[in-house]
Structure 1
């Protein structure tokens, strides 16, 4: 375990905060996807993943919190930079009932959200 769990938002609370008040959008800044050349709304991998990070956004690793524009409610880095734990327990999604672990939260297996600087648009992107 990297840190002691001190509480945190539920998955729904995190999603609401990350979207910054926007509805029916895939990304906190709207619908435009980041690219490797000129649109860097968050700190994610640019370049040939996972071999060469071109650091188009200026960061090889984590970025200071105010390096990118905040969302509409003033929150920074809700996408990219570092994964964020939330209060929901992580469970493997499967059609098999046995894949669900009702004790996941007690074991410290938390759901993480937001992606990290190691995510590339081709690898860590959720389609809704």
Structure 2
């Protein structure tokens, strides 16, 4: 993102909007545009490991993140996309409440775990490499 800020690059694609918006709010000379054909929406997840040293602190943190105050801080400090909030100032995008169908959430589920399977991963990388070598 620093290459965008410096003007070395004029456009970048597939950046996490929360990071870009944090830089924008800090005064970076950048613009943020969410594509109008479709925009993938990344789900944020948080977990408390079974063997966490202090699971109660993890629980308190998660409760804070889910609280009204925690949500307000997240919105104020950075751009966390939500279907029930307007797009923040300075972001060129379609309103999530418009029903346009532009926003496509990446659903957290078993399909995302398939890349953790080493055999699937090797096959995918092999096919990817082969596709890049084709003329």
TM-score range, shorter chain: under 0.3
| Higher-helix-fraction structure | 2
TM-score in terms of structure 1 length: 0.25
